[in-house]
């Protein structure tokens, strides 16, 4: 084992806990600095993003509109009540201290004897529990950044880039030819546009506001439809007809959007001679829900025949199904295009303790497009 | 070409038409008797069932509560208004005369030179357009019944038997180990129970009334839950936990039932150590909607993690995907077990013209368990 400098004996780690008495608590805990095993490294986490995909583990089904924080610095504690329905859903995690933070990047400061090659390197990691000052992980989990790339550049190397790439992979694996994407002006949505343009894949972008239309236009997106427009249904059907998209990824999840997309796909299919049977259009039409920006129920009117599906889509499940070769191919592309296709932009950089402040939580939990928070665990608590 | 007796020059065929002026019309039309090609036969249809799966083509999205009939005998005409929403959904079929009736059975009365072997045989056919006095089909579409089996025995050889068998096939193909079925006391549901018992597959039956519980108990069903019971959710979760079912077939389609089943699957998974991750239970949970007894929207609360799907399931699509070998294997089993596993019981036998009488339509369109209509096209019009 080699280590660069003398490491502290303990470090701060953020944990989220749901207690028996229906309360969610998030706090920093001092945990002992581990000694890496032969194939492990200790990464000093220098940049770790707060993504919607982290919110699930952080907040679960707690009533975050009633959240409050107390204490300061490393003793800051965030808490929120949990409804009986929320407790039912979270049964399996009651009384467990769950580490939070899916991904991040930093410098390797200690390495086991088989992982010496990574010593001193800046690496990106998707290992969970990244909202911490340090993290001990298998060397195989680390993606070394190219020379000149910083931890901040690489903090979001996995969730958004691999999700965007995996959407296109899913499209190919399941026999579709084009995509529909909602909340399409998001960081992820912008990456997806760049990927689709580079790969020659047609993409229908659904956004809710004119400024989001403008963002995507400036990227060169061809098909952008605004769900706030009176002509939304007609515009969407036209774009789906033009592209032949029969697969959609929906970040919102709730309400009528999945239903609207399937309805538009069916209307578009009805325009194509031979695509229609008495049981509706023949080609399978699929909407994958990969986020929950809208937590209201998904409502399906089912007026689109008998060849459709709606389901949840989760990156780790997709990667497990696709296999390690696909995973390696996608990660290699991310490392190469980190500052172009997969560049992320952050509006706020905060410390681990600031991430527990109720006012700041309210901001990054608001899911408003345009805010994106980065935690730097090396900032003073 | 050989024919047994002199055939009439024309025969009556039932057609369903949606007109530009928003009206559904069903009537009998005289069509010329065809001469079978070398590989074709003419079947004199003697028994053809009215199934929920026929209602889609017959009635589409017309407002059947406002249906009326006029005329009598072969001039009986049924009509019903269609709402603007219904017209939107049925755009692709406007002004087309659609033949109705998925399946039926009868005697081969004429055969082309390569189909002589079927001459005089009683055969079952799933060919569409079976609500007719005669039907010319490729010999390959005919399933000869075993000696001693009548057209009435074989009238329902395809839709319900193949659907029930294909549910079990789908379960195996998609990696599930047990099934949930709704509207489970139906003709189809009873077949499914017999198949599952014979094949050693665990089946959770969901019914709505105590007399349906009794029907299934008398068949020997092990897991029966009554959705009208106060303990429905607990009973369903227990049954799913006991069987390990992660696949459901839902005949109702609308409302909360698909959501309830997924919720129960998730609760059951949470009882099993290791089955649960922070993203919910790991195993994919699927509900296939194969009918629309409840036409209200499907409402999904999505409180069951990220490994679930809801979609439409249609027998022809499944058979196309499974391939011809599977189809042949299933059909052979149906022919063998026609009077046992796949026996159908009818409450009413009617003529083609009676099937267009608004009062009778109201009865067979009511989808009440326990009524099952058979058309005998050879009865006087």
Give the mean model confidence (pLDDT) for residues B136-156. 94
Please say if the pLDDT value at position B163 is more than 90.
yes
Please say if the pLDDT value at position B18 is more than 90.
yes
Q: Do B56 and A298 touch (CB under 8 A)?
A: no
B306 has a chain A CB within 8 A of its CB? yes
**Is the domain B162-319 a CATH 3.40.640.10 member?**
no
Return the pLDDT at B279.
Answer: 80
Nearest residue in chain A measured CA to CA from B53:
A279
Q: Which residues of B touch A85 (CB under 8 A)?
A: 303
A174 — alpha (psi -120 to 50), left (phi > 0) or beta?
alpha
Please say if the pLDDT value at position A22 is more than 60.
yes
Work out the mean pLDDT of chain A and round it to a whole number: 93
Q: What is the pLDDT of residues B334-381, one digit of tens each?
A: 999 999 999 988 999 999 999 999 999 999 988 665 678 999 999 999
Q: Do A310 and B312 touch (CB under 8 A)?
A: no
Q: Do B311 and A309 touch (CB under 8 A)?
A: yes
Quote the percentage of chain B above a pLDDT of 90: 84
Nearest residue in chain A measured CA to CA from B269:
A92
A280 confidence band (pLDDT: 50, 70, 90): confident
Return the pLDDT at B180.
Answer: 98
Please, where in chain A does CATH 3.40.50.720 lie? 162-319
Q: Which residues of A touch B302 (CB under 8 A)?
A: 253-254, 289, 292, 297-298, 312
Q: Do B306 and A312 touch (CB under 8 A)?
A: yes
Give the mean model confidence (pLDDT) for residues B278-298. 90
Question: Chain B neighbours among A 69-108 (CB < 8 Å)?
Answer: 85, 89, 91-93, 98
Q: Do A303 and B61 touch (CB under 8 A)?
A: yes
Give the mean model confidence (pLDDT) for residues A86-98. 87
Q: Which residues of B touch A98 (CB under 8 A)?
A: 278
A370 confidence band (pLDDT: 50, 70, 90): low
A305 has a chain B CB within 8 A of its CB? yes
B248 has a chain A CB within 8 A of its CB? no
Nearest residue in chain A measured CA to CA from B61:
A303
Question: Chain A neighbours among B 317-336 (CB < 8 Å)?
Answer: 317
Return the pLDDT at B292.
Answer: 82
Give the mean model confidence (pLDDT) for residues A142-160. 94
Please, where in chain A does CATH 3.90.180.10 lie? 2-156+344-375
Give the mean model confidence (pLDDT) for residues B217-229. 97
Q: Do B91 and A270 touch (CB under 8 A)?
A: yes
Question: Chain B neighbours among A 38-67 (CB < 8 Å)?
Answer: 56-57, 61
Probe site for chain A from B86, B290, B310, B321 (most A CB atoms < 10 A): B310
Please say if the pLDDT value at position A66 is more than 60.
yes
B297 has a chain A CB within 8 A of its CB? yes
B299 has a chain A CB within 8 A of its CB? yes
Nearest residue in chain A measured CA to CA from B315:
A306
A68 has a chain B CB within 8 A of its CB? no
Return the pLDDT at B1.
Answer: 75
Q: Do A317 and B307 touch (CB under 8 A)?
A: yes
CB nearest to A314's CB, from B93, B279, B303: B279
ipTM greater than 0.95: no
Return the pLDDT at B291.
Answer: 87
Q: Do B308 and A306 touch (CB under 8 A)?
A: no
Q: Which residues of A touch B95 (CB under 8 A)?
A: none
Q: Do A298 and B300 touch (CB under 8 A)?
A: yes
Q: Which residues of B touch A259 (CB under 8 A)?
A: 297
A173 has a chain B CB within 8 A of its CB? no
Give the mean model confidence (pLDDT) for residues A199-218. 97
Work out the mean pLDDT of chain B and round it to a whole number: 93
Please say if the pLDDT value at position A369 is more than 60.
no
CB nearest to A311's CB, from B92, B297, B308: B308
CA distances from B88 to A192, A240, A263, A302, B60 (A): 33, 17, 11, 13, 11
Strand ranges, E, within A77-176: 77-81, 98-99, 103-111, 122-126, 134-138, 142-144
What is the SS3 string spanning chain B? CEECCCCCCEEEEEEEEEECCCEEEEEEEEEECCCCCCCEEEEEEEEEEECHHHHHHHHCCECHHHCEEECCHHHCEEEEEECHHHHHHCHHHECCCEECCCEEEEEEEEECHHHHHHCCCEEEEECCCCCECEEEEEHHHEEECCCCCCHHHHCCCCHHHHHHHHHHHHHHHCCCCEEEEECCCCHHHHHHHHHHHHHCCEEEEEECCHHHHHHHHHHCCCEEEECCCCCHHHHHHHHHHHHCCCEEEECCEEECHHHHHHHHHHHHHHCCCCCEECCEECCCEEEEECCCCEEEEEEECCCCCCCEEEEECCHHHHHHHHCHHHHHHHHHHHHHCCCCCCCCCCCEEECCCHHHCHHHHHHHCCCCCCCCEEECCCCCC
CATH for A2-156+344-375, among 3.40.50.300, 3.30.479.10, 3.90.550.10, 3.90.180.10?
A: 3.90.180.10
Q: Do A56 and B298 touch (CB under 8 A)?
A: no
**A349: enclosing H helix or E strand:** strand A348-350
Q: What is the pLDDT of residues A173-203, one digit of tens each?
A: 999 999 999 999 988 999 999 999 999 999 9
Q: What is the pLDDT of residues A56-65, one digit of tens each?
A: 889 988 999 9
Least confident range from A162-171, B215-224, B313-322: namely B313-322
Q: What is the pLDDT of residues A24-57, one digit of tens each?
A: 999 999 999 999 999 999 999 999 999 888 988 8
CA distance A47 to chain B (A): 23
Return the pLDDT at B369.
Answer: 55
Q: Which residues of B touch A313 (CB under 8 A)?
A: 306
CB nearest to B92's CB, from A270, A300, A301: A270
Half-sphere exposure at residue B235, Cβ-oriented, CA atoms within 13 angstroms: 15
Q: Do A302 and B313 touch (CB under 8 A)?
A: no
A142 has a chain B CB within 8 A of its CB? no
Return the pLDDT at B371.
Answer: 73
Token pair 């009939």 is found at B69
A88 confidence band (pLDDT: 50, 70, 90): confident
CA distance B132 to chain A (A): 19
Return the pLDDT at B368.
Answer: 61
Please say if the pLDDT value at position A20 is more than 60.
yes
Probe site for chain B from A312, A316, A320 (most B CB atoms < 10 A): A312
CB nearest to A301's CB, from B92, B297, B300: B297
Q: What is the pLDDT of residues B322-346, one digit of tens each?
A: 999 999 999 999 999 999 999 988 9
CA distance A178 to chain B (A): 20
């Amino acid at each position: 084992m080699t280590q660069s400098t003398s490491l502290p004996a303990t470090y701060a780690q953020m944990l989220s806990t749901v207690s028996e008495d229906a309360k969610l608590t998030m706090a920093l805990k001092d945990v002992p600095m581990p000694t890496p095993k032969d194939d492990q490294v200790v990464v000093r986490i220098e940049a770790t993003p707060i993504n919607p995909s982290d919110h699930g583990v952080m907040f679960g089904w707690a009533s975050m509109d009633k959240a409050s924080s107390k204490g300061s610095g490393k003793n800051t504690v965030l808490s929120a009540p949990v409804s009986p329905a929320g407790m039912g859903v979270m049964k399996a995690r009651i009384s467990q201290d769950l580490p939070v933070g899916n991904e991040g990047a930093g410098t390797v400061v200690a390495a086991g004897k088989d992982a010496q090659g990574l010593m001193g390197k800046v690496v990106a990691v998707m290992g969970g529990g990244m909202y911490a000052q340090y993290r001990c992980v298998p060397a195989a989990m680390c993606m070394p950044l190219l020379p000149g790339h910083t931890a901040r550049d690489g903090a979001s190397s996995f969730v958004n880039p691999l999700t965007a790439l995996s959407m296109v992979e899913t499209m190919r694996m399941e026999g579709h030819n084009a995509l529909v994407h909602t909340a399409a002006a998001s960081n992820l949505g912008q990456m997806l546009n760049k990927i689709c343009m580079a790969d020659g894949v047609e993409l229908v972008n659904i956004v809710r506001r004119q400024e989001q239309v403008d963002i995507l236009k400036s990227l060169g997106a061809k098909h952008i439809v605004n769900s706030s427009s009176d002509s939304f249904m007609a515009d969407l059907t036209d774009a789906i007809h033009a592209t032949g998209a029969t697969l959609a990824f929906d970040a919102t999840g709730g309400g009528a959007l999945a239903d609207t997309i399937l309805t538009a796909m069916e209307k578009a299919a009805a325009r194509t001679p031979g695509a229609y049977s008495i049981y509706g259009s023949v080609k399978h039409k699929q909407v994958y829900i990969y986020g929950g920006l809208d937590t209201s129920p998904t409502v399906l009117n089912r007026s689109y025949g008998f060849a459709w599906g709606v389901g949840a889509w989760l990156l780790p499940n997709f990667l497990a199904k696709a296999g390690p070769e696909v995973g390696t191919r996608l990660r290699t592309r991310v490392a190469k295009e980190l500052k172009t296709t997969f560049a992320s932009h952050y509006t706020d950089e905060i410390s681990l303790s600031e991430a527990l402040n109720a006012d700041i939580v309210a901001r990054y939990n608001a899911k408003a497009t345009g805010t994106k928070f980065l935690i730097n665990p090396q900032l003073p608590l």
